[in-house]
Structure 1
Amino acid sequence: MEKRVVVKISELTSKHKISLRELSRLSDVRHAALSELANGKRESISFSHIVKIAEALNIEDIREIIDLIDVTEKD
């Protein structure tokens, strides 16, 4: 089974009760990049962005930011 890394931007903004724009401001990660991640339009994120998001939201556990999921095959 194929696995994929998912960045949980929407979950983070809901949990921390902030907007995407506010997360962008706090983390110094471009709003467009965060939006693309939230909408599944971007498949990669740099480690430096993960660190910036973690620092902005005081996150200690990287699993709050990213997840590894099984990808179901589509015919």
Structure 2
Amino acid sequence: MNKKIVVKIAELAKDHHISLRELSRISNVRQAALSELSNGKRESISFSHIEKIAAALNIQDIREIIDLVDVEE
């Protein structure tokens, strides 16, 4: 079984009762990048984006932002 990293942007926004637009504003990460991550259309995320999102949402554990999940082929 293979593994896949999932960035939980939509879940984070919902849990913090904010829109992706607001998350973009407070994290200084482009809304388009957040939207692509949220929709699974982006294959990568930079460490600086993770750091900015964590700081904006006061997240202490990276597992709140990303998950490693099993995928079947």
Q: TM-score, normalised by structure 1?
A: 0.95
- State the number of aligned residues: 73
Q: What secondary structure, in the 3-state scheme, does the structure 2 residue paired with 1:4 have?
A: strand
Inter-partner Cα distance in structure 2 for 1:12 and 1:43:
18
Deviation by residue 1:23-46 (Cα, 9 ceiling, x = unmatched): 000000000000000001001100
Paired residue type of 1:28 = N
Give the RMSD, CA atoms, in angstroms.
0.5
TM (norm. structure 2) is 0.98
Report runs of 4+ in structure 1 exceeding 6 Å deviation. Answer: none
Give the structure 1 partner of residue 20 of structure 2. 20
Larger radius of gyration: 1
Unaligned runs of 5+ in 1: none
Amino acid at match of 2:35: S
Name the SS for the 2:67 alignment partner. Answer: strand
Identity of aligned residues (%): 77
Q: Name 1:5's counterpart in structure 2.
A: 5
Letter of the aligned partner of 1:8 in structure 2?
K
Q: What letter matches 1:4 in structure 2? A: K
